[in-house]
Structure 1
């Protein structure tokens, strides 16, 4: 995000300003539910940080699913490898059947979200748009940018 326009910088500063006094940042796991649960790419974790969350990172030597359960995320964002958020809803029942998944804070507090891969990884959104989208998920009471239903959906439990 080196070449930001003034308008894009202002948009990021708005997020930063609104979160200035938030001291308890939620632990956010952005996962790809393929085989042994994979964390999202590094740049997604950077965007989570810009959006006000703490990205769940897997420690060296920890297996993906065990690390995920052990760290007990506050928010889980599913980024399917391809397709829309609606089509990715089919993976959630399988995740809920996994040992321990139903006991994490995100599930207990109904904070499970699915990104639309076609929108999130496509060319229609720049990094500022993606940061706003993630801020809207992480802090739904503070931010409404209009991406719900377009770039992400909430999986109600």
Structure 2
């Protein structure tokens, strides 16, 4: 059983559990028909950050540890909000990376997500799906919990 299924089975309110399951099923159904996208997760020292790697699979992406081979770069760091990331990340970007050349750099306030409940985990999956499949998903958190960073 996946961590998402485990989290959903722990929801006590049957109506909320059904709503969350429907949201999870919607994402799962849509990504079935899409190619998985290579994503490099980085922290503010340009080191690979693996804490979201398991969640990526539910959002239609997979972990690419090399920034040069990724379609998207997602920067996140605990205790760093979007404003701090906007100050720090530009100096770390290498112009030769494909994601940088194609303006596919994303900044994410990882502290804005609740990992301790099914609703928070599902929200993270939805947002990652929207980040990595623009135009296919719109959940409305862009600008609040994450932003597309354009050079």
The answer, yes or no, to whether TM exceeds 0.5 is yes
- Gaps of at least 5 residues in structure 2 are 9-16
What do you get for the CA RMSD once the two structures are aligned? 2.0
How far did 1:81 drift? 2.9
Q: Deviations along 1:9-49, whole A, 9 cap, x unmatched?
A: 21111011112221x32100111122xx322234x111111
Q: Does 2:95 match 1:102? A: yes
Distance in 2 between residues matched to 1:122 and 1:53, nearest whole Å: 19
Contact 2:67 2:73 in 1 (8 A): no
Aligned residues: 138
- For 1:73, the equivalent position in structure 2 comes to 70
1:117 and 2:117 equivalent? no
Quote the Cα distance in structure 2 between the aligned partners of 1:115 and 1:27.
17
Note closer, same or farther for the CA distance 1:3–1:121 as it changes in structure 2 (3 Å cut): closer
- Gap regions ≥5 residues in structure 1: 58-66
Separation in 2, partners of 1:95, 1:138: 21
By how many angstroms is 1:90 displaced?
A: 1.2
Query: Could you list the per-position Cα deviations for residues 114-145 of structure 1 after superposition, in whole angstroms to 9, with x for gaps in the alignment?
Result: 00133136769611010011111111100110
1:15 and 2:23 correspond: no
Describe the shift of the 1:79–1:121 C-alpha distance in structure 2 as closer, same or farther (beyond 3 A).
farther
Partner of 2:14: none
Q: TM-score, structure 1 length as denominator?
A: 0.79
User: How does the TM-score come out when normalised to structure 2?
Assistant: 0.81
- Decide whether the 8 Å contact of 1:85 with 1:117 is kept in 2: no
Mapping 1:137-156, distance limit 5 Å: 137-156=131-150
Residue 107 of structure 1: CA displacement?
0.8
